[in-house]
Amino acid sequence: MRKTRSLPFVLPPLLWCLLTAVIAHAAPTGESAGADKAGSDAAPAAVSALEYSKKGADTCIKCHDEDSEYPVLDIFKTKHAMKADSRTPFAGLQCEACHGPGVGGALFMEQALRNGSHVGKVRPGEKRPPIINFGPKSDEPVSVQNGMCLQCHQGNHRIEWQGSAHQANDVSCASCHTIHTAHDPVIDRVTQPDVCYKCHLKERADFFKPSNHPVRFGQLGCSDCHAVHGGGTSTLLLRPTLNETCYTCHADKRGPFLWEHPPASEDCTLCHTPHGSIHPALLTKLPPLLCQQCHSQLGHPSVARTTQGLPSGNPSGFLLAGSCTNCHSQVHGSNHPSGVKLMR
């Protein structure tokens, strides 16, 4: 009988690759085995800071409670935490919708508790995982901070934010708005001026002058005249022109009049200062000095309007009673057929 030669068993190439991978995984090298043993007693491996927390806001409020340096619980009283509204952050990633992925931050806090360091404080040699913080003390560029807000707040009054005076001066949203509070001070007419006064110190001083708009009494807010998120004027006015902004309250000065006073219809600030003045009616100067800026060569009928050129011969009584407006009372314009001199 002829003896046959046995042939070696040959595995298909794909099956051979799979078998090699299984053997390599089941039998780790000595170096990896040692590392696994050491890791069982050590701190958990670093979690990527690009991962989101599975518990959402529950992870954050374990540390940011009412007793912490940065409490956040009042956000649940605001519109941002309306989970039933799909437009809000809490309908999705909750805190991380604004602050970015926080699993790395949560792991940092757990390790801080384990090694005895202060919660929320970075010890020498430690580096907190990246997370977006907001406000004047943040290390993030203002463009990054505002970019997070503008993901949702693009329409309505914020559409003109790009290129506005506040945007050009690197004002962050968090410099004015307080998110983790039940009532944002900047949207309340009573508390809003105090927020604006942080930067606008001159305007704060003006509102304490004897003649002023009632802003510090809560009857008027800065946003009643100014479009703080952007406007068509250099001073961010609500209306296209200064006069139209004034007419929203002072409609009786709008006209049209049969006899107009040109400065009044051209620019209110030719005679008035909007925030406050030491003169009555927010005037820039007292009459007759105010009137003589334009009417310096006119008189009754041919003398300058000075105390020496007054027909009454009693300059003190003229000046104290109201000066030019004693007779020319309709300084903004007149509809009377005989009101060409703005006297009736």
Output the tens digit of pLDDT for each of the chain's 344 residues: 444 444 444 445 544 554 455 444 444 444 444 444 444 344 444 444 457 777 778 888 888 888 877 888 899 999 999 989 888 888 888 888 888 776 655 555 555 556 554 444 444 454 555 678 888 888 888 888 888 888 888 776 677 888 888 989 999 999 999 988 989 999 999 999 999 999 999 999 999 999 999 998 999 999 999 998 888 888 899 999 999 999 999 999 998 999 999 999 999 999 999 999 999 999 999 887 888 888 875 555 444 445 555 555 555 555 545 578 888 889 999 999 998 999 98
Where residue 54 falls (left for φ over 0; alpha for ψ -120 to 50; beta otherwise) is alpha
Burial class (CB in 10 A: 0-12, 13-18, 19+), 141: exposed
Model-level pTM greater than 0.75?
no
The answer to whether the CB of 72 falls within 8 A of the CB of 81 is no
| CA nearest to 95, candidates 144, 63, 61, 46 | 61
Spell out the domain ranges in the chain.
57-176, 249-344
